[in-house]
Amino acid sequence: MTPVTIDDYKDKYPDVKADFTVDQRWDQYTDEEHGVWRTLYERQEKLLPGRVAPEFLEGLEVLKLEKSGIPDFRRLSDDLEKLTGWRVVAVPGLVPEDVFFEHLANRRFVAGQFIRTPQQMDYLQEPDIFHDVFGHVPLLANPVFADYMEAYGKGGLRALKFNTIDHLARLYWYTVEFGLIRQPEGMRIYGAGIVSSKGESIFALDDPSPNRIKFDLMRVMRTNYRIDDYQQTYFVIDSFDELFEATVDRDFAPIYRELPTLSEFQPEDVLETDEVITRGTQAYARAKRAKEREPA
C-alpha cells in the first residue's frame, strides 16, 4: 500500500495542513446528515445503559455531546480541553502512522468529517464521524483513559523506530476499539468499535460465539484480528488503570525485539496460558464462513 500524502487530499481540501488537519466545515452538514447522527445517537442511547462502562456515560454527559446533530469540533474541543487537555481535530481520511501518533502524543484526537448514509446505518467498514466522535471522545473525558491514549501515541512514535507498528496496532484494536472491562456491576463494553455499533454492542456481551479472555499485553500483541466482522475474541481489562500501567513509561524495546521471533495467534485461538472468562462456541464465525463458501 502506498503511504498517503498531503497531495492526495489537496484537490478536495485545499486548506489541508502539514499535520493533515482540515477545517471540519461544520456549517456544510446537511439536515439529512444531522438526521443520521440523531438516529444513531438515539439508538445507542437506549441500548448502552447497563452495557457500557459508566465512565463512557459520564463522558457523554460532561461533554454535553449533542444528540440533535453532528457536534461542532470547536465547541466540543473547548469543553474537552478544560477537562483533560484533549482536542478533537478533523482530518480528510487516512493519515500516515507517524502523523496519527504525533497527534495522540500531543492530546489531539483525529476524527473523520464524513457521516455514513442512511443506507449504511448498520455497517460501515471505514470509520465515520459517528464512530470517531460518539465512539471515542466520551472516554477522552476520563483522566486515566486520556492518559492511556497519550501514552499510546508516545509508544507509537517509539515503535516506528523498531518497525513493529503491526504489533502495537493490535493493542489499540483490542483495547481502544474492541475492549471489554470487568467491573463490580458486571462485564461492560468500552471499545469505540463496539460502543458505536448497535449489533456489536449486543454481540460482544451476550452472544455465546466469541471468546472473552483476560487482557495480557504480550498475548494481545501476538494476536491477529479481523477488520470486517464482529470479533472472535474480546480481551477484558479490570480497570483503566490496568491499561495505563501496562503501557506507560514501560521500555518496549525488549518486547519489540522479541515479538518478531514469537509465533502469532489467530483471532479465535484459546491458549492454555489464557485466563478464559468465556470460552466462545465460535458458532457465529463458523456460520458466516460457511455462507461465504457457498456458491453464488
Binding of residue 80 to Fe ion (CB under 5 A) = no
Where does the chain have alpha helices with state H? Answer: 7-10, 31-47, 54-62, 73-84, 97-105, 129, 137-140, 143-162, 165-172, 192-195, 198-206, 217-221, 240-247, 253-258, 283-293
For residue 78, what are the CA distances in angstroms to 4, 85, 133, 170, 222? 29, 9, 14, 31, 38
Please, which residue, 171 or 192, has the CB nearer to Fe ion? 192
Q: Which is nearer to Fe ion, 86 or 256 (CB)?
A: 86
Interface stretch with Fe ion, choices 162-170, 184-192, 199-207, 238-246 (CB under 5 A): 184-192
In the bound complex, what is the minimum distance in angstroms from residue 176's beta carbon to Fe ion?
7
Taking the least distance from each CB to Fe ion, the nearer of 197 and 233 is 197
**Closest CB to Fe ion among 127 and 280?**
127
Query: What are the counts of helices (DSSP H) followed by strands (DSSP E) for the chain?
Result: 15, 7
Residue 231-250 contact track with Fe ion, rule CB under 5 A, x = bound: --------------------
Q: Is 88 in the site for Fe ion (CB under 5 A)?
A: no
CB of 108 to Fe ion, least distance (A): 15
For the bound state, the minimum distance from the C-beta of residue 188 to Fe ion, rounded and expressed in Å, comes to: 18
Q: Of the ranges 36-44, 108-116, 164-172, 185-193, which one interacts with Fe ion (CB under 5 A)?
A: 185-193
SS3 187: strand
Single out the residue of 168, 192, 195, 255 in contact with Fe ion (rule: CB under 5 A): 192
Q: Does 76 bind Fe ion (CB under 5 A)?
A: no
Q: How many CB atoms lie within 10 A of CB 277?
A: 15
Closer residue to Fe ion (CB): 103 or 282: 103
* Residue (136 or 278) nearer to Fe ion, CB: 136
Stretch of residues binding Fe ion (CB under 5 A), selected from 78-86, 110-118, 188-196, 268-276: 188-196
As beta bridge partners, residue 110 has 89
Question: Does position 115 bind Fe ion by CB under 5 A?
Answer: no
Bridge partners, 214 (sequence order): 236
* Cα 274 from Cα 251, distance rounded (Å): 24
What is the C-alpha to C-alpha distance for residues 22 and 112, in angstroms, rounded to an integer? Answer: 10
Q: How many positions of this chain bind Fe ion (CB under 5 A)?
A: 2
Q: Which residue has the cell 518486547?
A: 255
Quick check: 105 binds Fe ion (CB under 5 A)?
A: no
Phi then psi for residue 52, to 5 deg, are -100, 155
Query: 50 by DSSP, 3-state: which?
Result: coil
Task: Closer to Fe ion by CB, 190 or 256: give it.
Answer: 190
Q: Which of 226, 211, 199, 217 is nearest to 280 (CA)?
A: 211
Q: Cβ of residue 193: shortest distance to Fe ion, in angstroms?
A: 6
The verdict on 137 binding Fe ion (CB under 5 A) reads no
Instruction: List residues binding Fe ion (CB under 5 A).
Output: 127, 192
